[in-house]
Structure 1
Amino acid sequence: MPLAVGSFDPLISAGPALVWTVVLTFVFLECAFIIGLFLPGDSMLITAGIVLASHASGEAQVWALSLGTMIAAIAGNQVGYVVGHRTGHHLVARKNGRYINTRNLQRVSELLQRHGFLAVLVARWIPWVRTLCPMVAGAANMDHRKYTIASTIGAVIWAPVLLLIGYYAGSFLERVPWLMPMVIGTLVAGLIAGTALGIRHYRQEMAKPAEEFDVEHPAAVLEAEG
């Protein structure tokens, strides 16, 4: 058993610094830019919590990282809003795109128009909506104060909850010495594979022909499609 745990000593030793770097980068990108659509955000947060549970200072680290992820998510949302706002009412969609298509932009636009503040809160828990929402809100000129309050509340709830779920699940797994290394190895391998696959899908998506999406008149765009 000690050999199994020892085989992950480099990962556990590098844990806090590596986890902080990956988590903060992923959270910011997922909330700010289109590439975030293709990153494994939720599973990454849970994995980070489990990895930190293996470290001696894990409890202090996970609470500090929870605060860090809140700040990264809030900052990412503001960047995403500004990016959308600077496009005016026109966003770039991708013909036959898997995520960045006019239909998905239409759904997010309608969600914001109908539910506003509540929609921004709910968007935090839906991966692809989480990334598109800030840009659509900015392009639609949603009241910035209302958007900031809603996105901040969402950030305070989302990332820390998933991190803590991972951490306390990891604390439970620590009671079974042979199981923890296996779980960490599987999750980290899955995270690396998911990230590589996501980047590949992002490149494929962005290579598709671009088309304009008008936030003010989304229905007209869909009618023109067919």
Structure 2
Amino acid sequence: MPLAEQLLDLSLSPFALILIVFLVSMLESLAVVGLLVPGVVLVTVAASMAGHQDVDMFLLLLAAFFGAVVGDGASFKLGYDHREQVTSRWPLAQHPEWLGRGARFFERYGIYSVFIGRFVGPVRPIIPLVAGMMRMRPRTFLWANVSSALIWAPAYVLPGYLLGHTWQRYLELPANVETALFVLAGIFVVLALLFSWGRVQVGRHGRLYLACARAARRLPFVRRPWLAMSQSGEVPLASLLLLVLSLTGFCAWTLYVLESPDSLALDLQTQRLFDWLRSEPLLWVSLGFAKLGDKLGIVVLIFPYGAWLLLKRRFDVLCCWAAALGGVALLNTLGKAAFGRARPDTPDYLTGSLSYPSAHTSGFVVVVGLAAAFIAAECPARRRLWVYWAAIILIMPMALSRLLLGVHWLSDLIGGALLGLAVCALARLGWQSRPRAPLSPCPWAFLLGVTVVLMGLRIGFFPPV
């Protein structure tokens, strides 16, 4: 029996699914209980089953909405009416840090903490309780509770519900695509580890950084360059390692691609997978990414920040960005001419353009990667992880959109990404070679808003180039 039919046999009645969504939404919002309940996973599973049975989506959203409102409301009332007893009872008596984390969040964001906290996993079940203990006005809490639940319910229910409509199709994968799926998943895992756990380990207080510092003191031929690099503060170990890994990876991958007389089996499997996934909505989204990754798109992305840097006379930052963008453009041009690899498909606007490495991917990696590095440098250490995660989430769809459009092989994207990372590392090493004045204060929110508007204009009114 196909897997889709087995899952259908396990489906519950529509009423039971709606009730489950209500209960899970409520339990995830309850104080402390929400820390133990994997609410996102359970809501997604229940919504997927509901979508597969065509359960009324409006009723499902209402169930999630009221469950979230009731859960947060019960937590708020508990903190409001039983402030003293809450802190002395299990499990908060054994874990005071949970309340401390919620209190710091509440003090930072004030009346907006309930709205924001609903979408922040570690503090989500604690914030309503803390709001009650802090004697937040019930009317204010009710407004934040209801308005945030109106956004939370569709954000958590709709992805699972839409997946349920199509899961039978997505469980019946085309043949011989297992390697492609494994490689794509492996790339995401490696990137996640490299820019989360790995980035922490090579920071000043990381284990790898401290181990390198101890080794440098013992080895005479390493001590002098280590001390010279540390004159400007922290030794840029992260940038050095990224340069070594990405440059070595690019050279090895390029040799592997060039030694294959025909298309790689991995490329053919991946193309088969994305041909099967191709649909009109995904093609429309992919074309939007294509417009953001071409020359005009890159100009749109950097223009607001470049104008602000020019206004502030930060010519050092502008030179760093210009060198990185000019360098990756030159390397892409030379690489395409040297390797001469044809595209899987060549639309009219790419006539005469070759495939390896992917200029869209490498250019986007440089723009987003450098932006993430500069922003992270201005952030507290505990927030840098989220900056790099945001960069990964932006870059991955851009790269994969090239496969949906059929204008690149997967190996082109890997080569382009490695090349872009190498250029990013070189640019950061040049920047970190001596002390620099910080960029803050910078109107990041305003510049981001301008960028979004320009991106919309570029996608909506100009053809790809």
Interval of TM-score (by shorter of Structure 1 and Structure 2) = 0.5 to 0.7
Tell me, in whole angstroms, the C-alpha distance in 1 between the residues paired with 2:92 and 2:84.
22
Match of 2:73 among 72, 78, 94: 78
Do the aligned partners of 2:49 and 2:164 also contact (CA within 8 Å) in 1?
yes
The structural deviation recorded for 1:135 is 1.1
Aligned residues: 173
Runs of 5+ unmatched residues, structure 1: 180-226
Which structure shows the higher strand fraction?
Answer: 1
Tell me, in whole angstroms, the C-alpha distance in 1 between the residues paired with 2:104 and 2:49.
39
- 1:26 matches 2:24: yes
Do the aligned partners of 2:24 and 2:67 also contact (CA within 8 Å) in 1?
no
Question: Which residue identity lines up with residue 28 of structure 2 in the other structure?
Answer: E
After the TM superposition, which segments of 4 or more aligned residues of structure 1 sit over 4 Å from their partners? 97-100
Match of 1:37 in 2: 35
Tell me, in whole angstroms, the C-alpha distance in 1 between the residues paired with 2:7 and 2:83.
50
Tell me, in whole angstroms, the C-alpha distance in 2 between the residues paired with 1:5 and 1:131.
34
RMSD of Structure 2 on Structure 1 (CA): 2.6
Do the aligned partners of 1:24 and 1:69 also contact (CA within 8 Å) in 2?
yes
Do the aligned partners of 1:81 and 1:135 also contact (CA within 8 Å) in 2?
yes
Tell me, in whole angstroms, the C-alpha distance in 1 between the residues paired with 2:168 and 2:4.
10
The structural deviation recorded for 1:173 is 2.7
The structural deviation recorded for 1:91 is 3.2
Match of 2:6 in 1: 7
**Pairing 1:151-162 to 2, within 5 Å after superposition:** 151-162=145-156
Question: Which residue identity lines up with residue 110 of structure 2 in the other structure?
Answer: G
The structural deviation recorded for 1:70 is 0.7
- 1:88 matches 2:88: no
Tell me, in whole angstroms, the C-alpha distance in 2 between the residues paired with 1:92 and 1:72.
25
Runs of 5+ unmatched residues, structure 2: 174-465
Structure 2 CA distance for partners of 1:143 and 1:6, relative to 1, 3 Å: same
Structure 2 CA distance for partners of 1:127 and 1:91, relative to 1, 3 Å: same
Give 3-state SS (helix, strand or coil) of 1:131's partner. Answer: coil
Please identify, of 2-11 and 138-147, the stretch whose mean Cα deviation from structure 2 is larger: 2-11
Match of 2:64 among 62, 65, 69: 69
Please identify, of 21-30 and 137-146, the stretch whose mean Cα deviation from structure 2 is larger: 21-30
Q: Deviations over 1:75-106 (max 9, x none)?
A: 221111111111235632689x7997222211
Structure 2 CA distance for partners of 1:111 and 1:154, relative to 1, 3 Å: same
The structural deviation recorded for 1:72 is 1.6
Question: Which residue identity lines up with residue 154 of structure 2 in the other structure?
Answer: P
Do the aligned partners of 2:24 and 2:43 also contact (CA within 8 Å) in 1?
no
Tell me, in whole angstroms, the C-alpha distance in 1 between the residues paired with 2:15 and 2:85.
40
Question: Which residue identity lines up with residue 111 of structure 1 in the other structure?
Answer: F
Tell me, in whole angstroms, the C-alpha distance in 1 between the residues paired with 2:162 and 2:87.
41
Question: Which residue identity lines up with residue 163 of structure 1 in the other structure?
Answer: V
The structural deviation recorded for 1:150 is 0.8
Q: Deviations over 1:148-171 (max 9, x none)?
A: 111111111112211101112233
Match of 1:219 in 2: none
- 1:131 matches 2:125: yes
Higher relative contact order (CA 8 A, sep 6+): 1
Do the aligned partners of 1:94 and 1:101 also contact (CA within 8 Å) in 2?
no
Tell me, in whole angstroms, the C-alpha distance in 1 between the residues paired with 2:51 and 2:93.
34
Q: TM-score, normalised by structure 2?
A: 0.34
Tell me, in whole angstroms, the C-alpha distance in 2 between the residues paired with 1:115 and 1:33.
19
- 1:114 matches 2:108: yes
Match of 2:140 in 1: 146
Structure 2 CA distance for partners of 1:99 and 1:125, relative to 1, 3 Å: farther
The structural deviation recorded for 1:74 is 0.9
Percent of aligned pairs with the same amino acid:
24
Do the aligned partners of 1:15 and 1:51 also contact (CA within 8 Å) in 2?
no
Structure 2 CA distance for partners of 1:69 and 1:121, relative to 1, 3 Å: same
Q: Which has the larger radius of gyration?
A: 2
Match of 1:222 in 2: none
The structural deviation recorded for 1:73 is 1.1
